[in-house]
């Protein structure tokens, strides 16, 4: 390969450590700098710990429904400390796995805060060590956004990191923000007996997903006992003994709710402040680094990936962007495509989608929509999880699939078929005539496609 390339990766999260491993496999000499814990937000304070807590909640739900399957569990109780300990064990195990992977590839890992001295030099602030590299990949991630209102900080007010470090369950909780993180937090607490209210500023929960699917999810969680206010405009938080009161406007009327804990779930902000971006001339806009379709910044040889570039702040997007950055840093020209990126929500029912929402598709195309409800799926009936549907949107003239949206059991696993198909520009007919195993939930995808191509087998 000629002269050995040196690459410095700033950030050990999903945008950083997979990129470091990929670079090492391609023959680079790699240094990875992480100021906190390897695995970043996803592994330590996001994807993994929240899914562990959701799984504990799902076990509780299964026990409650056991008699439907002919199994008598009697009284049950759960241990919140044990649930949190299991979450921590899963995180530690995976973080240890990341450390071993990096060591196996002989990647030098530095624990410290990195800043840029010039386009080829990274300095570690704690030790003043300077690292010269041919290429630099910035993957510094993001941190929880703050709510800029009166009383938005103080005792009893938690961000997502604080939520995952709780020592005991509150009796009541208000979640400000009804996006992906907010609804997952709400279901975790609800399943463990907490009285939960979600306050969301926008018209629907999960802004940005298909409106029909969002409304179906909202209906489901309301039926579970979670109170939801959409189009709720928060004015202030009033600090009080024994809990805080959230003041907001709903349907043009002032409202307030007192709760033991208030959990802020209002998004995340890219981490740029320690990079020295302005001094070396790195272009940034609205708090995010500006990159081209090769993930390269305005300074040749410096690339960026993950939450620090904004856009779709998802773990799997960060991995893909990091790989794209490495390919280009190593001289293999490639571009990043966002055409078929899945979004997953791990509530029960799960939600997953890829491609255009129906509202978007209508603006650009003459479309057809096929829907198949899970109540008509044999496997879903066996599981006693019949709520939800598969929804497929295709372009009418040629039949190309433009979007797939699923709400129901194992939606987050099922969406992979749609991602692969859309990546290969499949048509609804391709999907409808692919043989699916029976009885499975995946038949719902086939049946929804058949609704576009003449009619599903198991629908009148």
Catalytic residue numbers, as ranges: 438
Contacting residues for 357 by C-beta, under 8 A, at least 6 apart:
209, 210, 211, 403, 405
Q: Characterise 92 by phi-psi region: left (phi > 0), alpha (psi -120 to 50), beta (else).
A: alpha
Helix residue ranges per DSSP H, 268-314: 277-280
Distance (Å, rounded) from C-alpha 100 to C-alpha 109? 11
- Classify residue 109 by its DSSP letter: E
Distance (Å, rounded) from C-alpha 120 to C-alpha 401? 44
User: Scanning the structure block, which residue is given the tokens 């975790």?
Assistant: 188
Q: Are 34 and 19 spatial neighbours (Cβ–Cβ below 8 Å)? A: no
The CA angle 384-386-388, to the nearest 5 degrees, is: 145
User: Scanning the structure block, which residue is given the tokens 């020209």?
Assistant: 333
Tell me the torsion sign for CA atoms 17, 18, 19, 22.
positive
To which H or E segment does residue 302 belong? strand 302-304
User: Scanning the structure block, which residue is given the tokens 């043009």?
Assistant: 252
User: Scanning the structure block, which residue is given the tokens 């060590």?
Assistant: 129
Distance (Å, rounded) from C-alpha 230 to C-alpha 202? 6
440 in helix, strand or coil? coil
Kindly give the pairing relationship between strand 130-132 and strand 121-124. antiparallel
């Amino acid at each position: 390969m000629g002269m050995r390339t040196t690459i410095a990766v700033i950030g050990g999260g999903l945008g950083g450590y997979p990129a470091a491993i990929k670079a090492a496999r391609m023959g680079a000499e790699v240094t990875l700098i992480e100021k906190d814990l390897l695995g970043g937000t996803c592994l330590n304070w996001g994807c993994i710990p929240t899914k562990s807590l959701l799984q504990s909640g799902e076990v509780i739900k299964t026990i409650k429904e056991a008699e439907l399957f002919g199994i008598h569990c009697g009284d049950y109780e759960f241990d919140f400390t044990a649930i949190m300990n299991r979450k921590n064990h899963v995180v530690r195990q995976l973080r240890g796995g990341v450390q071993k992977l990096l060591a196996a590839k002989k990647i030098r890992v530095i624990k410290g805060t990195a800043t840029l001295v010039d386009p080829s030099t990274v300095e570690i602030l704690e030790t003043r060590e300077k690292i010269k590299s041919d290429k630099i990949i910035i993957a510094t991630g993001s941190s929880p956004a703050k709510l800029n209102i009166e009383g938005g900080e103080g005792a009893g007010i938690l961000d997502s990191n604080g939520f995952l470090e709780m020592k005991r369950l509150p009796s009541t909780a208000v979640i400000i923000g009804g996006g992906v993180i907010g609804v997952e937090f709400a279901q975790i607490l609800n399943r463990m007996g907490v009285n939960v209210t979600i306050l969301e500023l926008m018209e629907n929960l999960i802004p940005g997903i298909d409106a029909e699917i969002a409304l179906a999810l909202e209906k489901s969680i309301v039926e579970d006992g979670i109170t939801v206010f959409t189009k709720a405009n928060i004015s202030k938080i009033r600090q009080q003994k024994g809990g805080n009161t959230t003041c907001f406007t709903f349907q043009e009327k002032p409202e307030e709710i007192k709760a033991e804990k208030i959990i802020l779930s209002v998004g995340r902000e890219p981490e740029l402040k320690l990079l020295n971006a302005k001094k070396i001339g790195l272009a940034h806009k609205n708090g995010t680094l500006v990159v081209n379709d090769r993930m390269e910044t305005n300074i040749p040889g410096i690339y960026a990936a993950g939450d620090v570039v904004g856009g779709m702040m998802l773990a799997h997007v960060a991995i893909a962007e990091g790989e794209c950055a490495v390919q280009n840093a190593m001289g293999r020209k490639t571009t990043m495509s966002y055409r078929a990126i899945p979004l997953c929500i791990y509530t029960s029912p799960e939600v997953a989608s890829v491609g255009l929402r129906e509202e978007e598709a209508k603006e650009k195309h003459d479309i057809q929509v096929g829907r198949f409800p899970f109540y008509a799926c044999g496997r879903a009936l066996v599981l006693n999880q019949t709520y939800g549907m598969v929804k497929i949107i295709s372009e009418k003239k040629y039949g190309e699939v433009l979007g797939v949206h699923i709400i129901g059991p194992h939606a987050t696993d099922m969406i992979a078929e749609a991602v692969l198909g859309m990546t290969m520009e499949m048509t609804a007919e391709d999907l409808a005539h692919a043989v699916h195993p029976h009885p499975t939930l995946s038949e719902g995808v086939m049946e929804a496609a058949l609704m576009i191509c003449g009619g599903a087998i198991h629908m009148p």
